[in-house]
Amino acid sequence: MTDLLVLGAGPAGVAAARTGAARGARVTLVERGGLGGTCVHAGCIPSGALHRTVAVLDEIRGAGRLGLRTGPVDADWGRMQAWMASVVERAVAVTRASLEAAGVDVVAGNARFVGPGRVEAAGRTFDGVPTIVATGASSVVPRGEAAGGEPVLTNDGAMALQEPPGRLLVAHGARFGLEWADLFNRLGSQVTVLLDGARALPDEDADIAGFLQLTLEQHGVRFASKSEPADGDGVLLFADSRVPNTAELGVDAAGIEVGAAGEIRADGECRTSISGVFAAGDVTGPPWLSNRARAHGVAAATNALGGSARVRPERIPRSVNTHPELAAVGLTEEQAAARGIQAVAGFGELATSLRGITLGEDAGALKLVVEPETGEILGAHMVGVGAVEVIAQVAAAMELEADYRDLARVQHLHPSLAELVTEAIASL
């Protein structure tokens, strides 16, 4: 017997299954592909492995300024892919072990709604069982976008390249596209990012995103308007274009409401238009973040089993895994102003961070956005070494609803990048 049915074993589905099991439910998890979903097989895990390689390559090439003598060093794409594959294999094993330890029944196969609250999956029928749809999204080339005659790749295709392209055109200037632009640029490709608007990452803080764009330009990445004529032939990459995986789910038969892009519409508690059916992660549409998917999965399972949980999108951090890396959580100053909030911002500069200086990574900054009268932390935005870890501290404070002045009382180790938070608060 099954108390909770989960469709999809990506970050959302795994989080939902483990949460359900921890609450004492008998959980059945159905997955038609590999455990871990896009994140593990064609997303942040393999991408992170490749970025680790080029980060080490950069460190070796710049080791002379730290007092080291090094010889010629270069990347081997075939060995990089072997390294990537080994990381993916280990991530799958970790995912499988976590599900086994939780007592989740993992079933391989397809799943489809055949009526409201009725699912056929892997030769079994589940009727009236609380169900969480966590089937993710797939990389696609947007309709009508590949009309220029260039070879076209999706994010999945970039993972499978036999060698770095000689020339790469990256569409849109969003998160995943910038990551590939940075990676292939460092491997010797001639890279141009085709922007939809005036700058990359238009939803991120203008100062922080602008610094990242400028740094990538200094490293050799070219930025141009998508309306400009292409300068020569190249491979065209659509890394940020995805479509939620709902086409084969039978959502019409279930009466589940979907949006124009096929995404399942769900509220802050992950409830869909059908009682007993919940949706979590990329199947609900962007932003395509694994930690967002995990948060959805936890909330969906909690609510499906009679608990109470709600996802707070403004408290979910996000990142761009370039070098330097960018990370953020919450609102920018502009977004706060659009909501009628009188926000102020404080800065912590890596140029004055003794930890940044000793690492030889002193370019970048942290911006902290707060509401001065109430003390509410509205957001934080950083570009530079350690940005992901520094932002995690602010995200934790936001989740605990701490006053920014409370955060100032935290005594950090010295020297550390975490001291940037203290510096940003002191500058307010």
Structure tokens at 90: 């280990």
Helices (H), 141-197: 155-159, 175-186
pLDDT in the model for residue 250: 92
pLDDT in the model for residue 229: 61
Domain of residue 281, CATH code: 3.50.50.60
The answer as to whether 51 is a domain residue is yes
Contact 116, 202 (CB under 8 A): no
How many domains does one find in the chain?
Answer: 3
| 276 & 403 share domain | no
Distance set, CA 272 to CA 27, 116, 130, 281, 352 (Å): 20, 12, 12, 13, 49
Given its phi and psi angles, is residue 377 left (phi above 0), alpha (psi -120 to 50 degrees) or beta?
beta
The answer as to whether 348 is a domain residue is yes
Q: What is the dihedral of CA 290, 243, 257, 19, to 10 degrees?
A: -20
Phi and psi at residue 214, in whole multiples of 5°? Answer: -60, -40
pLDDT in the model for residue 143: 79
| 291 & 364 share domain | no
| 302 & 356 share domain | no
Cα separation, 220 vs 41, in Å, equals 29
| 38 & 100 share domain | yes
| 128 & 248 share domain | yes
| 10 & 98 share domain | yes
The answer as to whether 319 is a domain residue is no
Pairing verdict, β 4-7 and 27-31:
parallel
pLDDT tens column, 62-81: 899 999 998 889 999 999 99
Contact 250, 113 (CB under 8 A): yes
Stretches in the chain below the pLDDT threshold 50 = none
pLDDT tens column, 208-237: 999 999 999 999 999 998 777 666 678 999
| 99 & 42 share domain | yes
Contact 306, 290 (CB under 8 A): no
Listed residues 314, 332, 355: the one ending a domain: 314
By annotation, the residues acting in catalysis are: 414
The answer as to whether 332 is a domain residue is yes
Listed residues 314, 347, 364: the one ending a domain: 314
The answer as to whether 145 is a domain residue is no
pLDDT in the model for residue 238: 95
Listed residues 238, 264, 295: the one ending a domain: 238
The answer as to whether 147 is a domain residue is no
The answer as to whether 204 is a domain residue is yes
| 173 & 260 share domain | no
Phi and psi at residue 325, in whole multiples of 5°? Answer: -85, 155
| CA-only gyration radius of the chain, Å | 23
Q: Domain limits at 216?
A: 152-238
pLDDT in the model for residue 252: 86
| 249 & 183 share domain | no
| 349 & 414 share domain | yes
The answer as to whether 146 is a domain residue is no
| 248 & 202 share domain | no
pLDDT in the model for residue 321: 95
Domain of residue 374, CATH code: 3.30.390.30
Q: What are the DSSP E strand ranges found in 123-279?
A: 124-127, 131-133, 137-139, 152-154, 167-172, 190-195, 222-225, 235-238, 242-244, 277-279
pLDDT in the model for residue 4: 98
3-state secondary structure of 118: strand
Cα separation, 279 vs 264, in Å, equals 7
Which helix (H) or strand (E) segment holds residue 383: the answer is strand 376-383
| 129 & 21 share domain | yes
